[in-house]
Amino acid sequence: MDRKAFLTGIAIATAAALIIPLTVLSQNQANSQMEKMPTTPATVADLMRHMVNTYHIDLSGKLAKGDFKHLIDTTPYMIADGHMAMKIPCGAKGEPLLTVLAGVAPDVKPVKLDMVEKLSNPPFSCIYHGPLPGASTDVALANTSDKPINFRGSAGYGVTITIHAELSE
């Protein structure tokens, strides 16, 4: 019995001695060359001067004629670059029933967005997108039509805004 146990132990050890090196050799030996980011106080302070963010605002309920919905306020950061996309109710020919306003409140101006025809279904809903002007802190959606706008049903009305902003001085 002892001889059989001894031979079994030798066989297991030999198999392990062959399998373990083969397993190690077959593994991907690539090493990550991730650069370590310096964390000096000056670097941290510089990073704190920037903000990159994406906002999604669901639109529901009703927006009265002449009323607006304030979407974002990035104060004390000033938008350097931004993009906006929105799905909203639209007119029969795809004209927007709402106007995007951007700037530094109360000095906001209309923003021109382009309709994405392939993703729009006038007069039910249209998708518009385009850049936001730099040097802005406020973005709003105003009802400039001659009637209230209803964001009803399961149409998925909403606005998505992505910005890169820098701390104002």
22-74 pLDDT, tens digit each = 454 444 444 445 566 666 766 767 778 899 999 999 999 999 999 999 999 99
| Residue 32 domain flag | no
Q: Give CA separation, 107 vs 8, 19, 135, in Å.
A: 86, 73, 11
Top pLDDT among 83 and 10 is at 83
Task: Provide the CATH number for the domain around residue 65.
Answer: 2.60.120
| Residue 12 domain flag | no
- Number of separate domains in the chain: 1
| Residue 17 domain flag | no
- In the chain, which ranges are E strands? 50-58, 61-63, 68-73, 77-88, 98-104, 107-111, 114-115, 126-131, 138-143, 149-151, 158-167
pLDDT mean over 102-120 = 96
By residue range, what is the domain housing residue 118? 49-167
